[in-house]
């Protein structure tokens, strides 16, 4: 009656092996199964209806000619060939995406770590500084982008105005194809708050004793960073690297320029307002969409690190820890 889940599962299995049908054990096993199904049901429905089905449909449609009026018609690899060989925006879009992923992620991680380190060193007004660095991250991407379009606008923008004070002629930022990507990088570095928080959580995890020991050994600031902080921080870094931030929608707003077309926004462009429908993108070619996802696969991974930090901060109960680590009786994929 008062069996824990683990023991009940064990009992249920032994029941399944030996006991005849319709014993209390058997009934309990069925009840357990229904209970699991009941608790999982929201997600089971959500997963199949809002994930599995559309994913399969996307793959299916990528081999079809389909215009929403006539029934889909199998065309083999034609759509895929179109994407790779004829779609004029695909090449630049892929290149731009790669560029942004590499540069933006590198700079975001560098700045996130730098500012995280700085904030952990601050002794007076930590809260104030932390808030200052964190708040830009909260600004809704669209609002932040509109704000930056204003700040960086070449004619009256405050940034170029101030660059003028020191005798610099500012670039055209979003209006110049060769400066639009750096402008986006600037925008994404501004919203560094999430990475800062994650890095801080992890930096504060470094046992203080290790710094003390380094002090005793006469280590300087750099050595301490290189040999204590850096190795300690390492496991999370790979996870965080994927966390890209707010570029997605920013790209759409920031203005004209073919160079800015990212794969991710191609189909958005076609699906959005009618004005954008005129772009040379075929509605029945979801193949482009399949590719669109690739660089974004890691998008939310930074949150894994956050979850880790969260769990850590709340102090794992040793029992819970042991329970998780304990190999499941019977083994195998359960």
CA-CA distance, 69 to 243, in Å (whole number)?
A: 40
Residues 251-270 that bind other proteins (CB under 8 A): 252-253, 264, 267-268
**Exposure letters 78-87 (e unless 16+ CB within 10 A, then b):** ebbebbeeeb
Closest CB 250 distance from other proteins, rounded Å: 9
Q: According to the binding rule CB under 8 A, does residue 174 interact with other proteins?
A: no
Q: Which of 19, 103, 107, 147 lies at the binding interface for other proteins (CB under 8 A)?
A: 147
Indicate whether 300 belongs to the interface with other proteins (CB under 8 A): yes
Let me know how long the chain is.
Answer: 334
- Closest approach, Cβ 244 to other proteins, in A, equals 11
Contacts to other proteins from residues 19-38, by CB under 8 A: 32-33, 35-36
Near other proteins by CB under 8 A: residue from 200, 214, 254, 281: 200
Rule CB under 8 A: say whether 279 interacts with other proteins.
Answer: no
The greatest distance separating any two alpha carbons of the chain, rounded to the nearest whole angstrom, comes to 90
218 to 257, contacts with other proteins by CB under 8 A?
A: 248-249, 252-253
Q: Are 183 and 254 in contact (CB under 8 A)?
A: yes
Scanning residues 58 to 117, which ones bind other proteins (CB under 8 A)? 58, 61, 68, 115
> What are the φ and ψ backbone dihedral angles of 65, each rounded to 5 degrees?
-95, 120
φ, ψ (nearest 5 deg) of residue 199: -65, -40
46 binds other proteins, rule: CB under 8 A: yes
Which region holds residue 72: left if phi is over 0, alpha if psi is between -120 and 50, else beta? beta
For residues 21 and 208, which CB has a smaller minimum distance to other proteins in the complex?
Answer: 208
Q: Fill in the DSSP letter of residue 321.
A: H
């Amino acid at each position: 009656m008062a069996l824990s889940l683990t023991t009940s599962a064990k009992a249920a299995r032994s029941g399944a092996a030996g006991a005849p049908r319709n014993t209390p054990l058997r009934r309990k096993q069925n009840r357990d199964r229904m209970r699991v199904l009941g608790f999982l049901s929201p997600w089971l429905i959500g997963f199949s209806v809002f994930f599995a089905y559309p994913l399969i449909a996307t793959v299916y449609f990528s081999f079809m000619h389909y215009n929403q009026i006539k029934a889909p018609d199998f065309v083999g690899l034609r759509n895929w060939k179109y994407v790779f060989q004829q779609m004029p925006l695909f090449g630049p879009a892929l290149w731009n995406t790669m560029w942004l992923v590499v540069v933006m992620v590198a700079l975001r991680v560098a700045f996130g770590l730098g500012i995280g380190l700085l904030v952990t060193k601050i002794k007076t007004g930590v809260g104030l500084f932390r808030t200052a660095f964190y708040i830009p991250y909260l600004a809704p991407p669209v609002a932040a982008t509109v704000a930056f379009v204003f700040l960086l606008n070449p004619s009256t923008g405050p940034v170029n105005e101030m660059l003028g004070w020191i005798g610099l002629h500012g670039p055209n930022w979003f209006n110049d194809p060769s400066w639009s990507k750096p402008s986006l990088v600037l925008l994404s570095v501004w919203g560094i708050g999430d990475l800062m928080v994650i890095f801080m959580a992890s930096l504060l995890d470094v046992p203080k004793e290790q710094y003390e020991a380094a002090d005793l050994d006469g280590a300087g600031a750099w050595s301490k960073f290189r040999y204590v902080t850096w190795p300690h921080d390492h496991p999370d870094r790979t996870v965080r690297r994927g966390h890209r931030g707010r570029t997605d929608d920013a790209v759409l707003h920031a203005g004209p320029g073919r160079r800015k077309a990212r794969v991710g926004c191609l189909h958005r462009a076609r699906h959005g307002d009618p004005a954008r429908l005129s772009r040379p993108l075929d509605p029945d070619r979801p193949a482009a969409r399949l590719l669109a996802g690739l660089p974004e696969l890691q998008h939310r991974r930074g949150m894994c690190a956050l979850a880790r930090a969260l769990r850590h901060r709340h102090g794992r109960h040793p029992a819970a820890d042991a329970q998780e680590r304990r190999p499941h009786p019977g083994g195998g994929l359960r």
